[in-house]
Amino acid sequence: MIRRTILALALAAFCQPVFAQSSSESADGYRSLFNGKDLSGWNGDPAYWSVKDGIIHGETTSDNPAKGNTFLIWTGGTAKDFELKLEFRCTADNNSGIQYRSKHITDSSAKNKWVVRGYQHELRNEVKFPNVSGFIYDEGGKRGRICLTGEKASWEKDGKKVQETLIEAAAYEKLFKLNDWNEVTIRAKGNNVQHFMNGKLVLDFTDNDPALALSEGVIALQLHAGKPMWTEFRNIRIKDLK
């Protein structure tokens, strides 16, 4: 009798459906874009980009300056509606950024083959408004700072309209970790994009200009031209939104 019971339980367990989770996708639906070992799946100038201690490291020096802004581009395809999470830190001497819904400019005659244009989530190691992480910059475009950190706004045919303040300067100063790792979340759905800093919504922007709004494109990490600087990224992951 005991043997029959054990056999029945074993058969029941064997017949249960097995749901295998992809090694690249977590239980919450995110998949990693960085393996923590090398730059597989990314395309950038090896003179500036490397992996150190499991972290993506971009750096320019006085002996090795960047000839214009240069980007490390994710080669896994384009992203349309998504939620992107990552952690970053950078120097206070310059700024960096995260490109999304952007375009890789592939001009074979250009000296810099890693140029990206489009929406940029600004990254800075500062806490004084308005030059802080989180605003949207129109990289390579004509709109400049499309939406500032702390704003809920839209862009209409006649320009930007601000509807609400999401966070004040004093609260942001407490939220952001100077000289340390900070987590960014970018949520893009339709013509609306939201930026979160360390879990707090700091920007909500709707692009209602059909001639300028971006709906899909590449993801990339920026290393800024100018003074010597470094920027680092880790825990880069993305989830598609339906």
Through-space distance between the first and last CA atoms of the chain, rounded to whole angstroms: 51
Give the angle 35-235-66 at the CA atoms, nearest 5°: 80
DSSP 3-state assignment of 110? coil
Count of Cβ atoms closer than 10 Å to residue 78 Cβ: 16
Residue whose C-alpha is closest to residue 182's, from 123, 98, 121: 123
CATH number of 28-240: 2.60.120.560
**Residues shown for the chain:** 242
Question: What pLDDT score was predicted for residue 28?
Answer: 86
Which residue type, as a one-letter code, is found at position 43? Answer: N
Could you tell me the two tokens for 33?
A: 């874009």
What was the pLDDT predicted at 61?
Answer: 95
pLDDT at 189: 98
Nearest Cα neighbor of 198 from 231, 149, 152, 141 is 149
Bridge-based pairing of strands 229-240 and 82-90 is antiparallel
Cα separation of 143 and 136, whole Å?
A: 10
Residue 15: phi and psi, rounded to 5, are -80, -10
Q: Are 220 and 86 in contact (CB under 8 A)?
A: no
Which has the closest alpha carbon to 103: 24, 217, 205, 22?
A: 217
Alpha-carbon distance of 174 to 191, in angstroms, equals 30
The pLDDT score that the predictor gives to residue 107 is: 74
Q: Residue 162: beta bridge partners? A: 153
pLDDT average per 10 residues of sequence, the chain (242 residues): 45 37 65 98 97 97 93 97 98 92 84 92 96 97 97 96 98 98 98 98 97 97 94 98 92
Identify the pLDDT of residue 24. 57
How far apart, in whole angstroms, are the C-alpha atoms of residue 11 and residue 139?
Answer: 60
Query: Domain spans of the chain?
Result: 28-240
